[in-house]
Structure 1
Amino acid sequence: MNNNKLLALSLALSASAIPSYAQDDSGREEATSRRQIEEVIVTARKRSENIQETPVAVTAFSGDALREQGIMSTQELSKSVPSLQINDSTSPQIFIRGIGQRAHMARFDPSVSVYIDGIFIPRPDGQLLDTIDIESVQVLRGPQGTLFGKNNTGGALVFNLTKPGDTVGGFVEGLMGNYNEQSVRAAVDVPISDTLLSRVSVSSRRRDGFLQNLGSDSNQSIDRLSAIGQIRWEAADNLTVDGLAFYGKVREKYPSYHCELINDDALFVNGLGVLWAGDTDPSNPTAYRDNCAANNRKNLPDLTTNQGDSFRAVKAQDILLLGTTLEWQISENNTLKTIIGYRDATKFGPQSAADEGGPQPFLRALVLDDSIQESLTLEFQLNGSAFDGSVDYTAGFFWQDEYKSERFLTSNPLVGAESSTLIALAGGQSGLNLPNLGTLIPGGTVPLIAGILPLATLQDFDINGQTYAAFTQATWHITDNIEWTLGGRYTEEIRESDLVTRSADLGAMLSILNSIDPRFIPVVPDMGVAAYAGTWSEDPIQIANDALNSYFPGEIKTPLGAPQYDSRDSTFRQFTPMTSAAWIMPEQWFDDGLLSSAMVYGTWSFGFKSGFHEPSGIDGLTEVAPEELENREIGIKIDALERSLRMNIALYSMSFTNMQLITVNVDSANSLVVTSQNAGESTIDGGELEVLWLPSENMMLSFTYSNNNYKYDEFMDNDLAALALRGEFVPVDRSKEDFAVSPETSASFGAQYTIVTDYGLFTPRIDVSYKSEVYMGLDAGSWQVAQTNPELIYAEAYSLVDARLSWNDPMSDLRVSAYVKNLADKRYDIGAVGTAESLGTFTRALGDPRTFGIELRKEF
């Protein structure tokens, strides 16, 4: 066979030469010359449109493109999509243009919506899907406040599965790599009749953890099993029914992390003057610092952490997703679609949510037992055209019913203090009075052990929520080249929250401690204060905590008091309009010219994310109002050089109000609590660039770039030390801080070349991605540290290089690929938190080191 025929055969297999996909009206890929960029069809406006004629900032990938680049999970999309940042350390986080949800608790709605075959995935921990049997994925940037089933402020990720075919066929794919990685994927189409088609897909992926936690197992492992069953029934010429069943099982370990002390004056370091287990000299307490230093990245071997055996890194979850889509072609120009989705997910505990980062279990936050997530969604979409095709429209209704439950434990050890310190702390706490403590224990010569920090706060949280939304959008084609779009959505979110809180019974705790070791003599039961009949040199704090740990071997190390009940109901309503105008320049302008086509558009749109109820320690539930976002955007989409060069640009300015920001606060018992509140307003100005160039039939080059300038217009908080020590609310202006988690600049470059030989096609490929430094501070004190020691509070900028070499035999439908990811073995952070004001630490989770392996794919 000559080389030209071999290249032609390869085109039928490889729309993957470019990071997009081409489809004809039937949804199947077209084979066109690689010299000309294929037409990409997207559904960003709920109808099939050429991406270059769609006035939306959207990036699209086909399943072949994902495989060509070696993208095996949603998280890896952030390497190639501008303004997209996805972290999956101790919690999943998806950010677009700096907008995302930092915390993963059940009460938070995601800022970026994820859909699979039109079904909304409501929880962040279920959004990071493996790319099993994906036909296409679209990343829509900016608020999708009109057409998509659940309002959001950041954008949307839209996944579409490969649908059943009308002939028997499929593929088998296997992978083996370092860290004992093993992956098997397979799919098969089995037509049952001419009108009833089926497809079954399975995937198993396992990899050992690469991060060794001293005293425990290795963390950051992969262990996922999933299966998808699909049915397509062509009930009539104008009626199609698609059924979907997805089951996923996750049994892996998320990363443990490292610790670095960043503020000696933090409350838990020197600020409160308390002593910790291991402190035997009250004039020179070092245990808290030593605990962090024991897990400092600089003090440990490479890829090693030291969080001890109390760190709960298990990531265990079962997910069942069922869906049905009915598409009825009412007439030639009008279609009614009904989408029904049901999701049932269970997260198994205990899972560590946070601690101060050292091997000793000083400060812990755990998700206990099983967390239940159930949701049912229903959506109607009426799509069509009117007035002789001059108006395209979409109208519909969306409904969701969701139930979530979560059991959350914050747990702290007994600490110690001198009597003068304890009196000072008590003086700043409402309702506490220790006038006789100095008399009982003069001079502080007797060790005092106390539950100054809450020994345990156990919260059972149940949330019922309903969403009702009606939406419509219409595009008027004023001329063949000018269109105007107008749309709006009315949303009503109902939240019903029930919270049961149980706190430690300090009096009962002291009685138990005294019965175990009579040397601990109760002094002030209400504060859990006991005097120790001995000396500091005996380490009485460790003795007391060991006694409680032996008496309470479970996760809850103390008796609990009577439950406190709190319930709140709220309804949040919002109308989000949008309008856009687009001008598609006449084709005759570009005859035999440099440009092949061009479109200019402008958009004004709104986004909205529901409010919720926030637990605030013993104070119960508080209401957090919805977020609101206004987006102003202009863009240009250009094809040039006989459609071998594509360049898309978007420039935008967004105004963000009622931002739901995480702050560290105190409750009425003066206990530290991490809460969310509507603390800020901001402006985000940015730009995105995507370039794709096919300089020859065999070569592809791609480049993306994004820059987002984030600025708080308002961000008010309270001084934490004043609250904790004196009970005073002192306002702090945090508007000068950088945005957290999302980098200002990201970029990527990809190059691929196909070498045609008598032995098949050889395709080397290289991908380089870059992320700028990221501010990771959580509290006001972190920003103060950043001004003098930015390396202590920023995740460093990094570049990753991935390389692949594929061999493809079009005659046998066989493909073999060797790959290396993170070729330079770069150390970089995928998650970090700086809490300089309270914990005084900077904790960081590492991303994957160099991984490599070989893949084999056989189609039949």
Structure 2
Amino acid sequence: MTRKLTLATVLLTLLPPAALAQSGSGMLEEVVVTARKRAENIQETPVAVTAITGADLRDRGIVNTDELAKSVPSLQINNGTTAQIFIRGIGQRSGLARQDPSVSVYLDGIFIPRADGQLLDTVDIESVQVLRGPQGTLFGKNNTGGALVFTLEKPGEERGGYVEGGLGNYNARRIRAGYSFPVTDRFSTRVAFNSNQRDGYLEDLSGHDNQSVDRMSGILQTNWLVSDSLTLDTFAFFGKIRERYPSYNCELVNEDALFIDGLYLAWPGDTSIENLSAYRDNCAANSADNLPDLTTNQGNTAQFNKYINNLMIGATLNWEINDTHSLKTIVGARNAYKRGPQTQSDEGGPGEFQVGYTLGGADQDSYTFEFQLNGELFDSAVEYTAGFFWQDEYKSERFMTGDALVGVDASVLTAILAGQQPDRPPPGSDANRPIIGAILPLNTVQDFDIDGETAAVFAQATWHITENLEFSFGGRYTEEERDSTLTTFSADNAKVAAMIQMADPRFTPVDNATLPILGTLPGGGAQARDSLAIMQFSGVWAQDPVGIANRILGSRNATNGFINTPLLPGQEDEREETFRAFTPMASLSWFVPPELLGDGFFNSMLVYGTWSNGFKSGFLEPSGVDGLVAIKPELLENREIGFKIDALQRSLRINLALYSMIFEDMQLITVDVDSASSLVVTTDNAGESMIEGGELEVTWLPSPNWMLNFSYSNNNYKFEEFMDQDLAALAIEGRQVSIDRSDETFPVSPEVTASFGIQYTLPTTLGLFSPRLDISYKDEIYLGFDDGSWELRHTNREAVYAPSRALVDFRLNWQNSEGDLNVAAYIKNLTDERYFIGAVATGDSIGTFTQAIGEPRMYGIEIRKTLN
């Protein structure tokens, strides 16, 4: 913590002596935020918050939420196959409907509950506030990471608006417009439209260009001054997305993984049980090292279509009860429809070795109601906010996971059935009769319906003890109910074996002579034959018997689409859980008196200390044949001190936050084994962890023509208690062997981020020219999934880490002398850096590192015309 306290001092030493002696001619504008549910100067708000206006978004060329991560400290946003938003290392890696996001996103006060709707285009946005740290008291939906609060440009009292368009490489074209229409003196409307399209920059050998952009949205707002004390604001937002997700490259990272040499399995394409190569070759066929730049090879069956419809309606009623009290009521409704199939996970190659799909249509419906009572007491000595929040949400999804039929040598299968680690097949095993079966689970289809209800009461007050000292305190009590219904359809392996044997007489039931251990199993081995679809092949390994069996299975069930096996009757599991928490906070703020600051460098200084808590609901998680299991909620305790400084006649602004957070029961995705010894991707709680860090934001106007922005964050993550199970012992032996993973770092988030922006304004007789340069830096990011990935960092760090990277953006803006026409030329990722926007390394089970590449160099031109 002491190391980070020196950041502000170091920065001041870098300023030129003239700047320290006297102010530049520029003066920073006051920034108003609503981090405490009332309008306040950001420099007088004891909260770590970054506020960016709509004009700032345009100056920086930010057109989508994910680009905020370039300039906001401790913010990491990945836009791969799922939206991932992390603040201070806290976020949600999966986009599955059952998991609440750790970072909440609000549009005009309406909570957006699902990750796939959170990455909005920044159309008609008045401002965005990024609140860092747990928002456990005032904000509508409790969270542990923080919140992104978007505020729309409101209808004006006069007619006016804008229209803008843009063209760029990869056939990029964008049109935006917004216009206010006053109807009467008391009623006005505003409409906005956005169309954003771009071809994909990732070429897949299947013939598709992936990671395209194709989204359209419209917003209608109204403002009605019902009376001098009553105002009603409404908005309706409709958006549709018809684009393609990014595709992945593959790198093999651990040949000892279960799916490779851990179980000595033969996959489609293997022609020798003594020299297994198909799994490796499948990954190598999609390796970035073996393909042209920005090219992938995930096969014809991988699904990348992103189809989402999103409708939101919101209404806010403000009642100024009197001069000191007001009541705000917010009502919202959201409907989203997401259509599959979409590839969720696989081993990374073009072959269908291991698959995961979201199938069919997924519905999401949510309704929210909130009221806030704001007021002042005791001659304004106390300001308070109190209220109630309620949300009802329904969501559904259908997903499928599965593996191919695999081949094994008799000695390997004997060891597996005996619960022992198999040895490599000895020389001469190619002469043995091939055995084919569902050693790994074939298709498992699950229909998941979730009803959730949230109710919370909250209150927070600020006591102005003196003119310079204030104390804030509050709390929130939350109840989250989850009622989940899971219907699981497993592959009928007995029918699978019968189908293959009928199609090709070379496949026959395995006998006790080939596999003597069958005679020692219950039912004489019949149960094992049926449950694992074990068959023997009368040919030889050189004929690729595994490929033959899988091709039969695929062709005989082509009418079922992606579900290529017959299914057993569904097994239904219904469970209800309620999760409760009380999250208090307290904060002490000191506004340093002017007489202590003197007449020199400092103009104002706020010093604050905050203790706050956050809560994210638990949920019910499918766990293979075991049905639904309860995952505990996350709890976060944050201790923070901060400094907010204006200096040099308010031309320099320095905001610094230092914090230490204790994280209980962090929800992490892991690979586990159900009671049938089948591998399942599930969620577990990590016990206790610690986050310590610091954030610095600096804005400086050395003159009216120059503006500099700088941000820096350093977050140190540590698991204090994270116990897991050895996957091989669970899967093979059915034996629980504990593994201590507390030495690991957090996944997905970098420890260090930094950004630097410089803008110059040059007035000329031809108009106003404004060149701007932005540089954003992200430290290396750990992308491992399991204990095996973490161990790989010692021998092959590049196999589990995304390398550090710096992105450079340049923008040149021209404005005419009337101020109503802007033309901008831009280049993003000027150096054409290659970096990951989605990646996962899995060392224990599938042994691969899948990587989605971010945007290459993008350039274009934009024109904006202000309308009266």
TM-score by length of 1: 0.94
> Displacement, 1:444?
7.4
User: How many residue pairs were aligned?
Assistant: 819
2:473 aligns to what SS in structure 1?
A: strand
How far apart in 2 are the matches of 1:691 and 1:747? 11
| 1:324 pairs with 2:321 | no
Q: Which residue of 2 aligns with 1:594?
A: 601
> Displacement, 1:429?
9.3
How far apart in 2 are the matches of 1:389 and 1:251? 52
> Displacement, 1:810?
4.1
How far apart in 2 are the matches of 1:543 and 1:813? 68
How far apart in 2 are the matches of 1:678 and 1:215? 39
Contact 2:107 2:150 in 1 (8 A): yes
Q: Which residue of 1 aligns with 2:235?
A: 244
> Displacement, 1:725?
1.2
How far apart in 2 are the matches of 1:555 and 1:226? 32
Q: Which residue of 1 aligns with 2:435?
A: 448
> Displacement, 1:525?
2.5
| 1:803 pairs with 2:810 | yes
| 1:114 pairs with 2:98 | no
How far apart in 2 are the matches of 1:838 and 1:590? 60
2:380 aligns to what SS in structure 1?
A: coil
> Displacement, 1:455?
1.1
Q: Which residue of 2 aligns with 1:289?
A: 280
Cα deviation 1:192-241 (Å, max 9, x = unaligned) = 11111000100000000000011230101000000000011110000000
> Displacement, 1:97?
0.4
> Displacement, 1:512?
1.4
What is the letter of the counterpart of residue 557 of structure 2?
F
| 1:493 pairs with 2:480 | yes
| 1:40 pairs with 2:31 | yes
Cα deviation 1:745-793 (Å, max 9, x = unaligned) = 0000000000000110000000000000011110110111112211111
How far apart in 2 are the matches of 1:245 and 1:652? 39
1:750 pairs, out of 757, 760, 781, with: 757
How far apart in 2 are the matches of 1:756 and 1:589? 40
Q: Which residue of 2 aligns with 1:54?
A: 45
Structure 1 gap ranges (5+): 1-32, 431-437
How far apart in 1 are the matches of 2:321 and 2:595? 36
2:89 pairs, out of 89, 93, 98, with: 98
How far apart in 1 are the matches of 2:216 and 2:290? 37
Q: Which residue of 2 aligns with 1:696?
A: 703
| 1:469 pairs with 2:476 | no
Q: Which residue of 2 aligns with 1:820?
A: 827
How far apart in 2 are the matches of 1:360 and 1:723? 27
2:337 pairs, out of 337, 346, 352, with: 346
> Displacement, 1:591?
5.2
1:248 aligns to what SS in structure 2?
A: strand
How far apart in 2 are the matches of 1:69 and 1:575? 40
How far apart in 2 are the matches of 1:738 and 1:635? 25
How far apart in 2 are the matches of 1:709 and 1:810? 49
| 1:718 pairs with 2:725 | yes
Cα deviation 1:29-84 (Å, max 9, x = unaligned) = xxxx9810000100000000000000000000000000000000000000000000
Q: Which residue of 2 aligns with 1:434?
A: none
Q: Which residue of 2 aligns with 1:10?
A: none
2:445 aligns to what SS in structure 1?
A: strand
Cα deviation 1:448-468 (Å, max 9, x = unaligned) = 110111110000000000000
Q: Which residue of 1 aligns with 2:259?
A: 268
How far apart in 1 are the matches of 2:386 and 2:819? 47
2:299 pairs, out of 302, 308, 315, with: 308
| 1:645 pairs with 2:643 | no
How far apart in 2 are the matches of 1:34 and 1:390? 37
What is the letter of the counterpart of residue 55 of structure 1?
P
What is the letter of the counterpart of residue 809 of structure 2?
D
Change (3 A) 1:359 1:131: same
> Displacement, 1:590?
4.0
How far apart in 1 are the matches of 2:502 and 2:234? 63
Q: Output aligned runs, 1:191-210, within 5 Å.
A: 191-210=182-201
> Displacement, 1:533?
2.1
| 1:610 pairs with 2:597 | no
2:344 aligns to what SS in structure 1?
A: strand
Q: Which residue of 2 aligns with 1:569?
A: 576
What is the letter of the counterpart of residue 501 of structure 2?
N
> Displacement, 1:586?
2.0
How far apart in 2 are the matches of 1:516 and 1:346? 40
Q: Which residue of 2 aligns with 1:4?
A: none
How far apart in 1 are the matches of 2:224 and 2:431? 80
Q: Which residue of 2 aligns with 1:544?
A: 549
> Displacement, 1:443?
9.9
1:841 pairs, out of 840, 848, 852, with: 848
> Displacement, 1:662?
1.3
2:245 pairs, out of 224, 241, 254, with: 254
How far apart in 2 are the matches of 1:317 and 1:756? 45
1:787 aligns to what SS in structure 2?
A: coil
User: RMSD value over aligned CA atoms?
Assistant: 1.5
How far apart in 2 are the matches of 1:748 and 1:253? 30
> Displacement, 1:532?
1.5
Contact 2:614 2:635 in 1 (8 A): yes
Moved more, 674-683 or 610-619: 674-683
How far apart in 2 are the matches of 1:178 and 1:198? 35
Change (3 A) 1:534 1:495: same
Q: Output aligned runs, 1:328-407, within 5 Å.
A: 328-407=319-398
> Displacement, 1:588?
4.1
2:655 aligns to what SS in structure 1?
A: strand
Cα deviation 1:328-357 (Å, max 9, x = unaligned) = 000111110000010000111000111000
What is the letter of the counterpart of residue 534 of structure 1?
G
> Displacement, 1:368?
0.2
How far apart in 2 are the matches of 1:587 and 1:60? 26
Q: Which residue of 2 aligns with 1:766?
A: 773
Moved more, 589-598 or 368-377: 589-598
Q: Which residue of 2 aligns with 1:535?
A: 540
> Displacement, 1:527?
1.3
1:75 aligns to what SS in structure 2?
A: helix
How far apart in 2 are the matches of 1:848 and 1:522? 52
> Displacement, 1:848?
0.3
1:104 aligns to what SS in structure 2?
A: coil
What is the letter of the counterpart of residue 457 of structure 2?
A
What is the letter of the counterpart of residue 790 of structure 1?
R
Q: Which residue of 2 aligns with 1:29?
A: none
Contact 1:138 1:158 in 2 (8 A): yes
Cα deviation 1:151-184 (Å, max 9, x = unaligned) = 0000000000000011111100000000000000
> Displacement, 1:592?
3.0
| 1:172 pairs with 2:155 | no
Contact 1:498 1:567 in 2 (8 A): yes
